[in-house]
Amino acid sequence: MNGKSLRQMLMSWLLPALIALLLAGALTAYLVALRNANRAYDRALLDTTLAIAAQVKTEPGRTRLELPAVAQQVLLTDKYDQIYYLVVGPQGEFLAGHKGLPPPPARPENRDWTYYDGYYQGKPVRVAALFSPTINGEIQVMAAETLVKRDNLLGEILFGMLVPEILLGVTVVALVWFGIGRGLAPLNRLRQDIAARSPQDLRPVPEEHAPEEVRPVVHELNALLARLDETLTAQRRFISNAAHQIRTPIAALQAQLDASLRESDPAELRATLQRIHAAAGRTAHLTHQLLTLARVEPGGQAAAEPQQIELDELVRSAAADWMPQALAKNIDLGFELDTAPLSGNPLLLRELLANLVDNALRYTPAGGQVTVRTGRSETETLLAIEDNGTGIPAAERDQVLERFYRVPGSSGDGCGLGLAIVHEIARSHGARVEIGTPPAGQGTIVQVHFPLHAAPDSPT
C-alpha cells in the first residue's frame, strides 16, 4: 500500500466487498426468480401430460390414445418453443407421440410425476413425465419442450437484475467516495494547520476538532512536539550558557598572553606562564564539562547499550585518577566499597563518579576527608560521597543541581556544572540524587540511589 492515499486504501478495501455483496444479491435474486419461473413452466408441461393422459382409453388387454387432431394441435402449439409428447404402454410399448424422447431416469417413490432435462433431435429439452395407472398396468406420458422461452426469461431476469445492481453500485461508490472525502476533511485541516506553522512554532495541535479515531495520533504528535520543544530549549540554553562561560576564561587567557609578550623579567614571565597554565587547565575542565553536559542532557548523543557492571569495581578502577588531586591538598581520600550491581552506561557512570569526587575534593579544605561508599539493598544500588568541608545549606541543595549555579560565597574554582552533570546522568539511569549533611554534622554527603539493575533511558 506504499504510495497510496488514505482514500485510495479505503476504497481498495471497500470496493471488493461492495462488489461481492452486490453480485451475491443479484445471484440470489436471479436464482430465486429463475426457480419460480421454471416451476411455472414445468407445471404447464405437467398439465399437458395430464390432458394427454385423460385421453388414454383402456379395455382389458388393450390401451390406446384417442386424441383428436384439433386437441393435439392445441396441446402442441406454442409461440416460442416446439412441444413433443410420447405415450408408452404398460409393457413399454409405443402408443403415440414422438419416438425418441428421453425416458425418465427413475420413477419417484412418493409421487406420480417428475421433471428432468434431456436432448431430442440434438436440441436440449425440458421433460415432464407422468406415471398413470390403468386396468392393464401403469403407463408413462411424457411432454417435452425446447428452452427458447426459458432462455428468454433468463435474459430478461439478468437484464432486470444487473442494470439496477450496476446503478446501485455506481451510486454507492459515489456516496462512499464523497463520504470518505468528508470524513478525511479534519485530517486535511490538520495537515494545513501544521504546514502553515513556522519551524519555531511548537504549540500543541488542538485535539478537540480531530475525529475520535485520530485523537491518539494528535496526542502523540503533541507529546513529540513537547519533547522537541524541551530539547530545543535545552540546546538554546546550553549554547547561551556555554558562550557566556567560555568567553570569560578565554578573555583572561588572551589578557595574560598579551601581558607575557610584554614581560621581560624571567621570574615574572614564569609566574605569568604558570597563571596561563592554570587558566588553560580551568578552560579545559570547563570545556570537558560542557561537552559532557551536552551529551547527557535530553536530546544529546545516543546512549551506548547498557551493560551489567559492578559499581564498586568501577570506583576501584578510577581511584588512581583522583589520588593526585587528593595528595596535592593533603586530603584523606578513603573507600568503603560493598557489592553494588548496576545496569548502565560505564562511561557515563565513570563521569558521574569523577564529578562527585572532583566536587568534593575542590570544596574540602586541605587536611580534610573524603569517603566514597557503595552498597545495595533489596531494591536499589547506592553510591555515596561524603566530605567534611563547609557543606551546602539546606536551602541551596536543590539549586546546586542546576547548571552554572554556585553557592554564594563558596571557595574553589568550580564553574557550577559538576552536580548538574551528576543530576542528568542519574536521571538518564532512573536514579535520584539526595544532598544532605553527614552524621558527624559537618560537610556534605551526596547519595545517588539507583533502582536495582536499572538501565539508562533511551535518548529523546
Instruction: Give the model confidence (pLDDT) of 388-431 as tens digits.
Output: 988 888 888 888 777 666 666 565 555 667 788 888 888 888 89
Identify the pLDDT of residue 406. Answer: 67
The larger pLDDT score, comparing residue 357 to residue 4, is at 357
pLDDT-based confidence at 457, cuts 50/70/90? low
Task: Give residue 453's pLDDT.
Answer: 62
Q: Which residue shows C-alpha cell 478525511?
A: 184
Q: Which residue has the higher pLDDT, 296 or 142?
A: 142
Nearest to 364 by CA among 397, 340, 318, 328: 328
Give span(s): CATH 3.30.565.10, the chain: 304-451
| Measured distance CA(314)–CA(357) in Å, rounded | 13
- The answer to whether the predicted template modeling score (pTM) of the entire model surpasses 0.75 is no
Question: In the predicted model, is pLDDT for residue 125 greater than 90?
Answer: yes
Residue 180 pLDDT exceeds 80: no
pLDDT of residue 236: 72
Residue 228, H or E segment: helix 215-262
Cβ-contact 275, 310 below 8 angstroms: no
CB burial class (10 A; 0-12, 13-18, 19+) of residue 79?
A: exposed
Give the pLDDT of residue 338.
Answer: 92
Please indicate whether residue 142 or residue 69 has the higher confidence score (pLDDT).
Answer: 142
Q: What is the pLDDT of residues 39-86, one digit of tens each?
A: 888 898 999 899 888 888 888 888 888 878 877 788 888 888 899 999
Residue 114 has pLDDT above 90, yes or no: yes
For the segment(s) 215-295, the CATH number from 1.10.260, 1.10.1060, 1.10.287, 3.10.620 is 1.10.287
CB 45 within 8 A of CB 196: no
Report how far residue 232's alpha carbon sits from residue 226's, in angstroms, rounded to the nearest whole number.
10
* Residue 28 phi, psi (nearest 5): -65, -45
Angstrom distance (rounded) from CA 180 to CA 21: 20
- CA 332 to chain centroid, in Å, comes to 57
Which residue has better confidence, 328 or 4?
328
pLDDT of residue 408: 62
Domain 304-451 indexed as CATH 3.30.565.10:
yes
pLDDT in tens, 299-338: 555 455 778 999 999 999 888 888 988 998 899 999 999 9
> Comparing 91 with 262, which gets the higher pLDDT?
91
d(CA 460, CA 457): 8
Instruction: Say what the pLDDT of residue 458 is.
Output: 45
Q: What is the grid cell recorded at 254? A: 588572551
Q: What is the pLDDT averaged over residues 278-284?
A: 67
Residue 248: per-residue pLDDT: 58
Secondary structure of residue 49 in the 3-state scheme: helix
pLDDT for the residue numbered 1: 46
User: Within 10 A of 453 (CB to CB), how many other CB atoms are there?
Assistant: 13
User: End-to-end distance of the chain based on CA atoms, in angstroms?
Assistant: 30
Q: Is the pLDDT of residue 278 over 70?
A: no
> How is the chain split among helix, strand and coil, in percent rounded to 5?
50, 20, 30
- The torsion defined by the Cα of 185, 187, 188 and 190, in degrees rounded to 10, comes to 130
Residue 417: per-residue pLDDT: 72
- Give the per-residue pLDDT at 302: 46
Compare 452 and 139 and report the one with higher pLDDT. 139
Kindly tell me if the per-residue pLDDT of 288 is higher than 80: no
Return the ∠ at Cα 355 (arms to 324 and 370), rounded to 5°. Answer: 55
Give the chain's mean pLDDT.
81
> 6-154 has which fold?
Beta-Lactamase (3.30.450)
As given in the structure block, the three cell numbers for residue 212 are 475520535
Domain span(s) for CATH 3.30.450 in the chain: 6-154
- Core vs surface per residue 245-266: b (16+ CB within 10 A) or e: beeebeebbeebeeebeebeee
Give yes or no for residue 4 having a pLDDT over 80.
no
* Per-residue pLDDT at 393: 87
β-sheet bridge partners, residue 335: 372
Separation between Cα atoms, residue 342 and residue 366, nearest integer Å: 33
Q: By C-alpha distance, which of 89, 96, 76 is closest to 140?
A: 89
Q: Stretch 431-457: mean pLDDT, rounded?
A: 84
DSSP per-residue letters across 304-319? PPPEEEEHHHHHHHHH
The CA distances from residue 195 to 188, 198, 223, 231, in Å, are: 10, 8, 18, 21
Q: For position 231, what pLDDT does the model report?
A: 73
459 falls in which pLDDT band (50, 70, 90)? very low
pLDDT at 62 (0 to 100): 86
305 vs 454 pLDDT, higher one: 305
Neighbours of 352 (CB within 10 A): 29
Average pLDDT value for residue range 110-118: 91
Mean pLDDT of 25-42: 80
Check pLDDT > 90 for residue 106. no
Instruction: State the pLDDT at residue 368.
Output: 92
Is the per-residue pLDDT at 281 higher than 80?
no
